[in-house]
Amino acid sequence: MEKIKNFVNGEYCDPTTGQYIDNIEPATGKVYCLIPNSGAGDVQIAVDAAEKAFPIWSGMSSTERSAILIRLSEGIEAHMDEFVQAESRDNGKPVSLAAQVDIPRAVSNFHFFATAIVHYASESHQMEGLGVNYTLRKPIGIVGCISPWNLPLYLFSWKIAPALAAGNCVIAKPSEITPYTAYLLGKVAQEAGLPPGVLNILHGEGHTVGDAIVKHPKIKAISFTGGTSTGKYIAQTAAPMFKKLSLELGGKNPNIIFADCDFDDMLSTTLRSSFANQGQICLCGSRIFIERPLYEKFKEAFVDRVSKTVVAPPMDPKAKLGAVVSKPHMEKVLSYIELAKEEGGTVLTGGERVILEEPYDEGYFLRPTVIEGLAFDCRTNQEEIFGPVVTITPFDTEEEVLMMANSTQYGLSATLWTSDLKRAHRMANEIDAGIVWVNAWLVRDLRTPFGGVKASGVGREGGWEALRFFTEAKNVFIKY
């Protein structure tokens, strides 16, 4: 069986532990390759390589670094089909989604930050008659990037690209559940001419190699995307070492629909915002609030469309939903559907596992599920499920829906559907979220700040925010 490898000091290598763990294909439930079960020893070797590479990489001009990162972006594009197939197989998502969203976005992430860095400038503050301050923004040194399984290469590259562009050396760990495209990235980095040691990719579990990255004293900053409880642990570990931290965590996002919305646009977008990537996008709107006069019309049309949604093997071009990422995750989602019933909810469509024909009969396929009749503050409506499950709830007033929308511990994103411009501004201002879409969902401009409030995280990614995170500011004053 194929064994994937770590990528350290510009070369593929085996883990020092000599151990491997299974990598399972979600669509079949079968092991299809082995991944390194790396440990603290591997982190040390990667840090040694990064330390040697740092003066070379940070000493290059931003134009030279930019050229290499553009080649990296073009390298992914040149291997597009290989990356697309690998992402879909590893994660269970439809091939069509990996081809339209995941891999093109990884290409854009590298291209975007490769070009951003050559436009990056720092401030100067003049003090009249006294002197001038100017700010230097220098790379931090060695940084750690840890990413989750839901958008594997998309989120991996969203961290690595700005870190590298700013002149840092990176120790990166993809999720052990979806390691494959990060593995392929090593080859592209070699082809692009990235100097050895600048990007090191270690595979393995969070509590071993992930923890060793967070604890290593020479890794000065951690950019993490994943679950809120993991984020809390990382914050506790890294804070006493005074590491810079960016934490992008969970969500339980509201999708608020007013009766004056464009119904057709809202309906087709709400299908996507509920179930894209099997509902496994941190920005999915899993709590749908509908103004009461529209409730019955929405419910009928939505349930009809959801019940016709095609759940199929990822490579089937008709597949709108593929498999969820793992057996434990499938079981977690199913347990929340049971909880919703215990809490008094009614399953309007879905609510069960789908058994497809061989060889997919042991795959982790779930029907998209819509539940109504739940209180806004029950566990189903407060806890992150992260699967193809949404609840629908009517509301009467703006005040009421704001209260319900803001009632969770999370605050990542929100979607608003209305034709009333003043209401859109009013509500957008009041919602506890880092990102609000009005009459849209998942429209992403890479220059904008991305991140959440409350238990959805600390810090912002995207544009200058990311370049600021991956640099240290130093102010210099010169007397006239």
Give me the residues that bind ligand NAD (CB under 6 A), please.
146-150, 155, 173, 175-176, 205-207, 210-211, 214, 225-227, 230, 233-234, 248-251, 282, 384, 386, 412, 452, 456-457
The answer to whether residues 457 and 231 touch, using CB atoms and an 8 Å cutoff, is yes
Q: And the tokens for 21?
A: 């763990």
Burial class (CB in 10 A: 0-12, 13-18, 19+), 161: buried
Shortest gap between Cβ of 328 and ligand NAD (angstroms)? Answer: 10
By C-beta, is 195 or 227 nearer to ligand NAD?
Answer: 227
| Cα–Cα distance measured from residue 374 to residue 39, given in angstroms and rounded to the nearest whole number | 45
The DSSP code for 93 is -
Q: How many CA atoms lie within 13 A of 286 on its CB side?
A: 31
What is the Cα–Cα distance from 391 to 23, expressed in whole angstroms? 32
Write out the two tokens for 174. Answer: 């993809």
Task: Confirm whether 282 is a catalytic residue.
Answer: yes
Whichever of 337 and 412 has its CB closer to ligand NAD, that residue is 412
Toward ligand NAD, which CB reaches closer, 97 or 234? 234
Q: What are phi and psi of 473, to 5 degrees?
A: -90, 135
Residue whose C-beta lies closest to ligand NAD: 206
Of 33, 145, 282, 284, the catalytic one is 282
Q: Which CB sits closer to ligand NAD, 167 or 179?
A: 179
Q: How far is the CB of 193 from ligand NAD (least distance, A)?
A: 28
Long-range contacts of 263-270, Cβ-Cβ distance < 8 Å, separation of 24 or more: 263/294, 263/297, 263/301, 265/439, 266/417, 266/439, 267/298, 267/301, 267/302, 267/305, 269/415, 269/440, 269/441, 270/302, 270/417, 270/441
Q: State the nearest-atom distance from the C-beta of 258 to ligand NAD, in Å.
A: 26
305 versus 332: smaller Cβ distance to ligand NAD: 332
CB of 426 to ligand NAD, least distance (A): 26
> Which is nearer to ligand NAD, 94 or 457 (by Cβ)?
457
Question: Residue 67 or residue 458: which is nearer to ligand NAD going by CB?
Answer: 458
Question: Do 468 and 423 touch, CB atoms closer than 8 A?
Answer: no
CB of 59 to ligand NAD, least distance (A): 30
In whole angstroms, give the CA distance from residue 381 to residue 456.
Answer: 16
- Which amino acid appears at position 217 of this protein? P
Pairing of strands 435-438, 287-291: unpaired
Shortest Cβ 461–ligand NAD spacing (Å): 8
DSSP 246-257: EEE-----EEEE
Measured CA to CA in angstroms, residue 212 lies from 5, 53, 197, 209, 238 at distances of 18, 20, 18, 5, 11
Cα(210)–Cα(206) distance, rounded to whole angstroms? Answer: 4
Q: State the nearest-atom distance from the C-beta of 255 to ligand NAD, in Å.
A: 16
How far apart are alpha carbons 50 and 47 in whole angstroms? Answer: 5
List the catalytic residue out of 25, 87, 248, 461.
248
Q: Which residues are identified as catalytic?
A: 248, 282
